[in-house]
Amino acid sequence: MAENGLEQTARALVAPGKGILAADESDGTIKKRFDAIQVESTEESRRAYRELLFTTAGMEEHISGVILYDETIRQSSADGTPFPELLESKGVIPGIKVDKGAKPLALAEGETITEGLDALRERLAEYRDLGARFAKWRATYSIGEEFPTEYCIWTNAHALARYAALCEEAGLVPIVEPEVLQDGTHSIEESAKATGRVLQAVYTELHDQRIEYRGTLLKPNMVLSGYSASSRAGVDEVADATLEVLYKHVPAAVPGIVFLSGGQTDEDATVHLNAMNALGPHPWELSFSYGRALQAAALKAWRGEEANVQAAQDAFAHRARMNGLARSGEYSPDLEKEFAAV
């Protein structure tokens, strides 16, 4: 079967050794991250920080695409080059977050629905004109005694599929992100059950709404023990549990699965990805679409100071390289020590 344009873009985003940088933090989220390093979050400080990431030498060796925020896709580097154009010049594909965030789900206390479908067709057309070639929409689900409910699961699945259909119509690759939050005390078995239920609903809706899987990517959580669980599963158990859920629920026609890092440490996110790829090959490329797990070290090194830009870029480049190695199961924790010694 011949590849269409969407499939070509999707496959480029999960090219060997590469993954996606999520630089699509909302104003509230980036403010929290800047507050942690005592930097005021202004349009200019956000622009300067994103430029730091995007101009890192060699970042394109391990970063295939960047998810931008509405503000960021309209910004430019210090020399006036629009960010989408800057990324394209490095062979990096620009993308855009298009959802409007998770809001309380009516008549379902404690659960959320992601909003943003209103006027999405028009927004997608504008983003494509601005240079975007793929998009992202995130839905969230909590694990608890009664969560996630069928109501929450299917309502969000329907919205994810409507978003995906509009993206494919607009010529943008939809990244479908159903995130089962790993906060709490749940076991890895409970995480696997919730994740499987969510993915089953998502792919039922995607199928019913005529989505061409080959032109999409999935951005799921890994199957983990709750972050506050008294006993937490090890690396091999996480890899096995995550793969079992994916094999049961994700069609082989999907070109790639780009994991989110969630609340994992930088190294945990890399170690888990590496363990899954070491068990390959798999029907889909297993890659990454990390935000904090790619940026935390760079933010800490930068601290808003021009003199620290190179150190911040070095830290970002290192994390990108580590995750690039994890794409083929070639990562080793010893490589972290080598960087620390530099």
Which residues are annotated as catalytic?
A: 177, 219
Helix (H/G/I), strand (E/B), else coil: 39? coil
Alpha carbons within 13 angstroms on the beta-carbon side of residue 196 total 13
Q: What are phi and psi of 227, to 5 degrees?
A: -60, -25
Residue 270: CB atoms within 10 A of its CB come to 26
317/295 Cα distance (integer angstroms): 10
202/198 Cα distance (integer angstroms): 6
Q: What are phi and psi of 310, to 5 degrees?
A: -65, -40
Q: What are phi and psi of 60, to 5 degrees?
A: -70, -15
Quote the tokens at residue 12. 């480029």
Amino acid symbol at 214: R
Quote the tokens at residue 26. 């909302």
Output the CA torsion sign for 9, 97, 57, 47: positive
How far CA 161 is from CA of 186, 190, 283, 286, 304, in Å, comes to: 28, 25, 22, 22, 39
